[in-house]
Structure 1
Amino acid sequence: MVLTGARVLNVYTGEFEQTNLWLDDGRVVSRLPHPDMKARTTVDLAGQYVVPGMIDAHVHIESALVAPSEIGHILLQHGVTTIVADPHELANVAGTAGIEYMIKDARQTPLDIRYMLPSSVPCVPFDNNGATLHAADLEPLYKYPEINGLAEVMDYGAVARDDADTMAKVHDAYAHGHHADGHAAGLTPEQLEVMRAHGMDTDHESATVADALARVDAGMYVFLREGTVERDIANTIGAVTPRNYDRFAFCTDDKTIGDLIGEGSIDHNVRLAIEYGLPAELAYTMASNNAARAHRLTDRGALVPGQLADLVVVDDLNSVNISRVGCILGVVIKLS
């Protein structure tokens, strides 16, 4: 297939380029004219824009109150082709069996659902819950290719005192080639450095510009959040500049199915960011390439040769009006 006539986002130059996009076997082959090449299918996208598929960098599917396979129906329509989920809530109820259910159910949707293993089950030692997951319980789950690391480490005290089980969970994530998300709500710059020194390299708990910049200073990727309850974009987007934007991505964290249907997912974050003055090319790059880099997903986030043909066709950049979605399993959804 070749897509012609559109302006394609180059996330490395920050420009929308008028060019062709050649696709084959689920991957990008070229973005050059190639008069000598022929495609079985030509799609004319004159006047439209093509951006990489959007990624929700941190989400709890359980907050939507639907199964992983069902949430795919909604998110793909909003240009989200990958999500990185923390099955913390179900794990608190059903332990590793709950996590395995989430993994296997997600295989029914073309939405690519990656999971971070929940780090704090239970949340606190005195919680009356359905399971307790230690490092030894979580480590066997890395056999599943959908596992992408360790989810938000929220027990700062355990990190600061080098708790053996907590640090074993972090070590296992890195030993399997992944990483560990942080949860640094209310932490000081000094405490942020402790978290980063112990391996937590992302955070989604910024509520102010100062919060976001402190996390960048500590060397973290920052996921700017807009969910159902926590609505942080208006108060944090001012932290993003052309010099530091590569440290920022977007997440929803917790969002009800009603809000996902009516308002959107990461497409809504992008829409708000542009509304508050962020250049469109930066917003779409944060929603794709930056999230991919933060989670070490090296095969997506940019529309260049060798990358997955994971893309979104947009009619209007500012309103994020989506007309087509092509996801990594080769499914093309035409929305209008």
Structure 2
Amino acid sequence: MIKKVSLHIYNAQILDVFNQKFEKTELWIDKNLIYYRGKSNELKAEKEFDAKGQYIIPGLIDAHLHIESSLLAPSELAKLELKHGVTRIFADPHEIGSVAGVSGLFYMIEEARNTPLHIHYMLPSSVPAAPFEHAGAVLAADALKPFYGFPEVNGLAEVMDFPAVENGDPDMLEKIRDAQAAGKHADGHGAGLSREQLAVYRSVGIDTDHEATSGKEALQRIQSGMKVFIRQGTVEQDERAILPVVRKNNQSYFSFCTDDKSAIDIEKEGSIDHNINLAIKEGIPSERAFTMASYNAAQAPAFRKCRCFS
């Protein structure tokens, strides 16, 4: 029996992220999902498209960023991201949460619904950022917990208050437990932490980090069982320092993020596509760089626990 699908793309070079190679093959797409890859006599498409040898890769993913750093609303930033091949981002609305509290979080969620870019939020873990700071709002565990009912919310963002975790602060531990109880994930923020301190994070279930600034720190995180988001933004630019330790046998632990990047820099040099271009220039095979920017990021805990196809 012949099955009808929506679209047939042929004569294309398609990235096989599982074997990390480009393959001249075909794609059969039905209802916006890839139904089959390869030649088939049992499928018929409503629309045929000759790719004429062009390359097809998965959508790029920014594993961690702050939309507020772009000085744009979510839907406006999305216009830039989509131009650069980014189809999904994981954002921490820490800045607006610090000023506007829960109303700021509601705004970011609602406004992000105005774009086809998939915008997922990780709830800000430390508002205020330090006990002596007050920018206008306080977000304790009981204020954050209801937000796990939103499909756009995928967990707790970068837990930056390491002393609170180490000292067993009740509110911080409750935030982490609430995320996990909702089937979500808590991201790490291990700036300057030793392997012993990273173990404290791991003991509460935190296994991602974007604060590695050197190859040595990146390897320490991998040895601790953590995924590493290689950061290349406007201020923090760690990629060149980390890439030398990315090897074929450990590359699955690495993906890319921008963290804080201005709209001007995104327009000028790119978003995650800039991370890819830099990686290729530094000697990372293109197939590996594209895989890190897509499939690897999709294997990070926050993505795996999202309702991405609901």
Taking structure 1 as the reference length, the TM-score comes to 0.88
Deviation beyond 2 Å, 4+ runs, structure 1 = 295-300
What does 1:206-217 align with in structure 2 at a 5 Å threshold? 206-217=212-223
* Number of the residue aligned with 1:191: 197
* Number of the residue aligned with 1:175: 181
Residue of structure 1 aligned with 2:287, choices 281, 287, 291: 281
CA pair 296-230 structure 1, distance change in 2 beyond 3 A: closer
CA contact (8 A) 1:179 1:201 kept: no
Residue of structure 2 aligned with 1:147, choices 149, 153, 161: 153
- Separation in structure 2 between the aligned mates of residue 273 and residue 163 of structure 1, nearest angstrom: 40
1:119-159 per-residue CA deviation (whole Å, 9 max, x = no partner) reads: 00000011121111111100001111000100000011011
* Number of the residue aligned with 1:315: none
* Number of the residue aligned with 2:251: 245
- Separation in structure 1 between the aligned mates of residue 267 and residue 287 of structure 2, nearest angstrom: 25
- Separation in structure 1 between the aligned mates of residue 203 and residue 284 of structure 2, nearest angstrom: 31
Letter in 1 for 2:269: E
CA contact (8 A) 2:11 2:52 kept: yes
How many residues align? The count is 303
Give the SS at the match of 1:52. coil
CA contact (8 A) 1:2 1:22 kept: yes
Residue 36 (structure 1) shift: 2.8
- Separation in structure 2 between the aligned mates of residue 130 and residue 86 of structure 1, nearest angstrom: 18
* Number of the residue aligned with 1:333: none
Residue of structure 1 aligned with 2:67, choices 61, 64, 70: 61
* Number of the residue aligned with 1:111: 117
Listed as ranges, the gaps of 5+ residues in structure 1 are 301-306, 309-327, 329-336
* Number of the residue aligned with 1:31: 37
Letter in 1 for 2:127: V
What does 1:75-114 align with in structure 2 at a 5 Å threshold? 75-114=81-120
Q: Equivalent pairs: percent with the same residue?
A: 51
* Number of the residue aligned with 1:297: 303
Give the SS at the match of 1:57. strand
Does 80-89 or 230-239 show the bigger shift?
230-239
CA contact (8 A) 1:91 1:99 kept: yes
* Number of the residue aligned with 1:22: 28
- Higher helix residue share: 2
Does 104-113 or 198-207 show the bigger shift?
198-207
2:154 equivalent to 1:121: no
1:238-279 per-residue CA deviation (whole Å, 9 max, x = no partner) reads: 121000100000000000000011110000000001110111
Does 38-47 or 78-87 show the bigger shift?
38-47
Residue of structure 2 aligned with 1:260, choices 244, 248, 266: 266
- Separation in structure 1 between the aligned mates of residue 266 and residue 75 of structure 2, nearest angstrom: 15
Q: State the superposition RMSD in angstroms.
A: 1.5
Letter in 1 for 2:161: D
Letter in 1 for 2:203: A
Taking structure 2 as the reference length, the TM-score comes to 0.95
Residue 91 (structure 1) shift: 0.1
Residue 44 (structure 1) shift: 1.1
Residue 299 (structure 1) shift: 9.7
Letter in 2 for 1:164: P
- Separation in structure 2 between the aligned mates of residue 23 and residue 223 of structure 1, nearest angstrom: 31
- Separation in structure 1 between the aligned mates of residue 69 and residue 14 of structure 2, nearest angstrom: 34
- Separation in structure 2 between the aligned mates of residue 143 and residue 6 of structure 1, nearest angstrom: 41
Residue 296 (structure 1) shift: 4.4
Residue of structure 1 aligned with 2:49, choices 43, 57, 76: 43
Residue of structure 2 aligned with 1:226, choices 216, 227, 232: 232
* Number of the residue aligned with 2:3: none
Letter in 1 for 2:154: N
* Number of the residue aligned with 1:271: 277
CA contact (8 A) 2:209 2:229 kept: yes
- Separation in structure 2 between the aligned mates of residue 108 and residue 126 of structure 1, nearest angstrom: 37
Listed as ranges, the gaps of 5+ residues in structure 2 are 1-6
- Separation in structure 2 between the aligned mates of residue 239 and residue 3 of structure 1, nearest angstrom: 37
